[in-house]
Structure 1
Amino acid sequence: MPSAVLPYLPAAVASAVLLLVWWVAKRKPKFRLARRHRPGDGHQGPVWRSVLAWFAVALVVGGGAGAGLLWSLGWPKLPRGVAFSTTEALDVLKIGLAVVAGFGGVVALAVNYRRQRVTEAAHVLTISQEERERTKLFNERFATTTAQLGHDQAAVRIAGVYALAGLADDWTAQRQTCVDVLCAYLRLPRERDEGEKEVVGTIFRVLRTHLGSPHEAGPWSDLDFDFTGVVFHEADFSEITFEGRVVFDGAVFRGPHTSFERTVFRDMTLSCHGTTFTSDQVSFRHALFDHATVEFVGTDFTGTSIDFAASGIRSRTVDFYRATLTDARIGFRSSEVAGTTIRFERCAVTGSRLDFSYLYPDLEARRSVSRLVLEGCTVQRSEVDLRGIAPDGTDVWFTDSSFQEVEVLADKRSDGTVLKVRRVEWVDSTLPGAATGRDRPST
């Protein structure tokens, strides 16, 4: 072994022994130097136990270092009968005093270790107590604000709405619960007096304030909103951002205008199961559906216009399943749809217009195939507009459906149209002659 390496061997051996002791203590809890801290009690066991444990570690490390030193020196033997000189005796005394001081250091280390553990335990206990006090305060505020929402006077209920919104801002852990209470208030049956109308208006203003803008999500945007069974009159959900599940199941939209214009639906589900739309105009113009799923299941569209014009629909699906369209208009004109399926399945369409003209206008950069499907539908006295649909990246299917007195408008192309027809019954209906695989219309 090179002589240059020999002086470092004792330190290396000592370090190896120390690492071995640490590994054993880590793997075997019963060999640890002190009991694991239990939050809330701060009990560490007798101090002599910690001192003895650290002495044991010191002896093991010192023994390992000494053994390594002797091994590196070839296990030399001391000569017999040799008397120490005064200088050598003083050196031996210094070594002894250094060993005693080292053991004193071990005791100090054990005491400081215990003091640190006690301090940490006290800190954890303080934090736990503060958290309990904070939670208690939040619960008291929650009870007070919910009681205000049940007050007879509208002014007190309005104050309760603002108080609950403030609590939601402060109490992050239960923010969803606070929002659920506001949504539940909207679902409650109530008398439509002026005071109650102002309370409901206040709730919607609070929601809009916390739902950000089309450019930036708000602090409540990632929460879920349950508007099941709520009756909306001229609802305005425009220019906000939803990133959590939004439920309008069984809701009713009334009034001249319902707006979702420029609203962002991102990584979420928009659920409209059994929803009724009777507003003259329901606008989703310039809305963005980014990795969102839209479900119009059992939805009733009567005398209304649903306008998705110039909207952006990406990735997931827009499903109209068992929907009823009576004297309605649904338009996707100039919408940008990438990697998405717009599906009308088992729908009943009467006296309505389905406008898909100029769909998928900007697919050159993405080259993502999207689909438009009418499957198992009954369409009567209606119009379906497919003009201007970009032929690249599109797939339009009419399958297993019945068309009676329906006019299908599509561009005539030398290479055919984007429309594909399978097992469709045509009665007094017109269909572009270039449609591929179509059934012959009957008259």
Structure 2
Amino acid sequence: MSEIDNDARAQAANLVKQPKAGAGLPGGRPSLTPIPKWVIAVGVPAMLVVSGVVGWYLLTTGTTRDQLDAIRTAGTLGVGFGGAVALWLAVRRQRSTELDLIQKYIAHELAERIATQNEMSANRVAEHAEYDARERRLTDLYLKAVEQLGSDASPVRHGGLYALERVAQNNPAQRQIIVNVLCSYLRAPYSAPGETPLPSKSGIRRPLTRKTSRNSAKMLKDFSEPQRRNPLDDRARQEREVRLTAQHILTEHLRPGDNPEKFAETFWQDIDLDLTGAYLIDINLSRAAVKKAVFTGAKFSGFANFESANFEEAAHFQGSEFHGRARFIAAQFYQHANFSESNFHDRTIFAGTKFHNAAIFEDASFSGATVFDQVELGGQSTFRRSEFHGSLAFENAHFTGEVSFEGVSFCGDLHFYDATFADVAEFNEATFKKSAEFASVNFKKDASFADAVFNGSTVFGSALFGEFAEFDNASFKRDAQFNGSIFQGDARFGEVTFSGNVEFDNVTFRSDSWFAGVNFHQAARFDASEFGEIADFSNAAFSWVAGFNLVKFIGRADFSGAYFADDTSFEGATFASSVDLTDASFASGLPTELTDHTFDESTDMQSHDNTC
């Protein structure tokens, strides 16, 4: 029976996959063909007639033995034929039974399939119904929370904010929408509260006499009505608290947590912020991770903290106002950061900040002390026409791309100690109103200070100028010091004015150096320096002491038209090539070091003593 069941299952499986059409039950299921009625109507009477004829014949006639054997044989054949018929009927009955089993199995399979499909359909309907219900519930919560934000009662607005926070926390797909709502709320117009008491109606209307004014004033102080607050200020204070709540919700959910391998559950990832023109109070986005941030025209009241914040896309701060301290320590800007036309009214710190792309600070204003120590600027950066009213520090800063400080006003002390400029650095037309320190700075490519004005003391000691260095038409109002510096490319100081003492001791000029038309109003010293190629001091004016002691002139030295108004010393100087003193004027006479100096055979000494 098990073999029959297996065979039935196999046939049922085939029939379920590919039902065959043909005779049988509706739907193409297999069935047995019914026995024709004529077989029964003819076969049974025929058998009865034959049996009766044979019996009558045997009874009425005598039979021989052979005839009996024949009759016996015929009977045997008849019995055999009957047995075959019986067997055929049994097989037919078995086949009918099997087909019944197959049909029942098919019916069972179809019933199970229909049940499964019905169950799946029911599940889908239930899921859709659940989804629709969830969406309706979410929409209701969202609309109700947004409606609460428009309430006049501050507790209701608080509740609306927390309701939105819950919706966003439980529905990640809705977080950006909720953040947009919060940002929209913070962008709404807002005025900070101020204490403005209303005038009191109590007191005496007529002027107080000199005799009674003191006592009357005391009485008014003791008995007058207390000053009342302006109800507008009360509403402003309540609104301030609501806005602080909105800020807190944003800042708390923008921090990924301290575990770099797993974000905090409260962190909302890949969020854009649009706080254009928003009024932000003591905003704290330290350690926050933001995709795109727009703070254009925003007003930051109090302390603005962006320490260790990460901005994955562009960050826009142009035209923003920082009325309190601003801290961007160790912040990361992976795309360009725009702070153009921003105003920083208090101390500002960008120490350790990394700008992986362009940093734009054009026309920005910094009123307090500003710190860019150890900052890294990876792209093309600009500070054109910015104003730094307090001290400014770029110590150990690293500029990977081009940077421009053209037209910048440095009103406080400036420190670029040990900074590195890997690309072109421009300080053209910059104004340095106090001290400027560029000691140990590495300018790997061109450095330009053309038309710059240095009003305070200036230090370029041990600086390295890797390529072209330009100071044409610059003005140094006080002492300037370049001791130990190295100029690997051309150095141009054409038409520069040094109003204070200037020192170029131990300086190495490996290429051409141009000091043509320079005015040295105080002492000028080039002791122990080395001029690798052309040293051009033509038409330079030395109004006081000039020292070229132990200087090595490897290339041509040109002092034509130069004027030396005081003591000039070339003690220990060596000239490996020609020296041009055409029309040079020495107020104290031609230095003996030049008249008694032994020059190389190739040296062309042209001496003109124009002593007054």
Bin for the TM-score computed over the shorter chain: 0.5 to 0.7
Whole-angstrom distance in 1 between the partners of 2:432 and 2:172? 57
Once the two structures are TM-superposed, the CA of residue 376 in structure 1 deviates from its matched residue by 7.2
Whole-angstrom distance in 2 between the partners of 1:99 and 1:438? 104
Q: Given the superposition, is the C-alpha separation of residues 18 and 423 from structure 1 closer, same or farther in structure 2, using an over 3 Å criterion?
A: farther
Q: Which residue of 2 aligns with 1:420?
A: 445
Q: Which residue, 283, 295, 319 being the options, matches 1:274? A: 319
Give the structure with the higher percent strand.
1
Whole-angstrom distance in 2 between the partners of 1:330 and 1:85? 116
Aligned to 2:241, what secondary structure does the other structure show?
Answer: helix
Are 1:285 and 2:329 an aligned pair? yes
Once the two structures are TM-superposed, the CA of residue 207 in structure 1 deviates from its matched residue by 2.4
Are 1:373 and 2:413 an aligned pair? no
Once the two structures are TM-superposed, the CA of residue 196 in structure 1 deviates from its matched residue by 1.0
Question: With structure 2 as the length reference, what TM-score do the two structures score?
Answer: 0.50
Whole-angstrom distance in 1 between the partners of 2:14 and 2:109? 20
Q: Which residue of 2 aligns with 1:6?
A: none
Whole-angstrom distance in 1 between the partners of 2:269 and 2:112? 49
Whole-angstrom distance in 2 between the partners of 1:127 and 1:178? 25
Greater Cα radius of gyration, structure 1 or 2:
2
Once the two structures are TM-superposed, the CA of residue 333 in structure 1 deviates from its matched residue by 1.2
Whole-angstrom distance in 2 between the partners of 1:92 and 1:346? 105
CA offsets 1:126-167 (integer angstroms, 9 cap, x no match): 111111111111222222222211111212212222222122
Amino acid at match of 2:469: R
CA contact (8 A) 2:347 2:368 kept: yes
Q: Given the superposition, is the C-alpha separation of residues 156 and 265 from structure 1 closer, same or farther in structure 2, using an over 3 Å criterion?
A: same
5+ residue gaps, structure 1, are 1-14, 22-50, 59-82, 361-369
Aligned to 1:425, what secondary structure does the other structure show?
Answer: coil
Q: Which residue of 2 aligns with 1:260?
A: 306
Q: Which residue of 2 aligns with 1:395?
A: 422
Q: Given the superposition, is the C-alpha separation of residues 377 and 98 from structure 1 closer, same or farther in structure 2, using an over 3 Å criterion?
A: farther
Q: Given the superposition, is the C-alpha separation of residues 198 and 327 from structure 1 closer, same or farther in structure 2, using an over 3 Å criterion?
A: closer
CA contact (8 A) 2:372 2:394 kept: yes
- Provide runs of 4+ in structure 1 moved above 6 Å: 15-19, 83-93
- Once structures 1 and 2 are overlaid, which stretch shifts more, 108-117 or 133-142? 108-117
Once the two structures are TM-superposed, the CA of residue 408 in structure 1 deviates from its matched residue by 5.5
CA contact (8 A) 2:278 2:297 kept: yes
Whole-angstrom distance in 2 between the partners of 1:119 and 1:104? 22
Q: Which residue of 2 aligns with 1:250?
A: 297
Q: Which residue of 1 aligns with 2:239?
A: 196
Amino acid at match of 1:166: R
Q: Given the superposition, is the C-alpha separation of residues 157 and 327 from structure 1 closer, same or farther in structure 2, using an over 3 Å criterion?
A: closer
Q: Which residue of 2 aligns with 1:332?
A: 372
Whole-angstrom distance in 2 between the partners of 1:96 and 1:127? 46
Q: Given the superposition, is the C-alpha separation of residues 197 and 345 from structure 1 closer, same or farther in structure 2, using an over 3 Å criterion?
A: closer
CA contact (8 A) 1:431 1:441 kept: no
Q: Which residue of 1 aligns with 2:469?
A: 438
Amino acid at match of 2:300: F
Once the two structures are TM-superposed, the CA of residue 199 in structure 1 deviates from its matched residue by 0.9
CA contact (8 A) 2:256 2:267 kept: no
Aligned to 1:246, what secondary structure does the other structure show?
Answer: strand
Once the two structures are TM-superposed, the CA of residue 386 in structure 1 deviates from its matched residue by 3.2
Whole-angstrom distance in 2 between the partners of 1:355 and 1:16? 86
Q: Given the superposition, is the C-alpha separation of residues 395 and 220 from structure 1 closer, same or farther in structure 2, using an over 3 Å criterion?
A: same
Q: Given the superposition, is the C-alpha separation of residues 219 and 295 from structure 1 closer, same or farther in structure 2, using an over 3 Å criterion?
A: same
Whole-angstrom distance in 2 between the partners of 1:424 and 1:155? 59
Give the aligned length: 353
Once the two structures are TM-superposed, the CA of residue 204 in structure 1 deviates from its matched residue by 2.0
CA contact (8 A) 1:347 1:376 kept: yes
Whole-angstrom distance in 1 between the partners of 2:347 and 2:98? 93
Within 5 Å, which residues of 2 pair with 1:92-103?
A: 94=94, 97-103=97-103
- More relative contact order, 1 or 2 (CA 8 Å, 6+ apart): 1
Q: Given the superposition, is the C-alpha separation of residues 301 and 93 from structure 1 closer, same or farther in structure 2, using an over 3 Å criterion?
A: same
Once the two structures are TM-superposed, the CA of residue 278 in structure 1 deviates from its matched residue by 3.5
Give the structure with the higher percent helix.
1
5+ residue gaps, structure 2, are 1-12, 19-25, 31-82, 194-235, 476-612
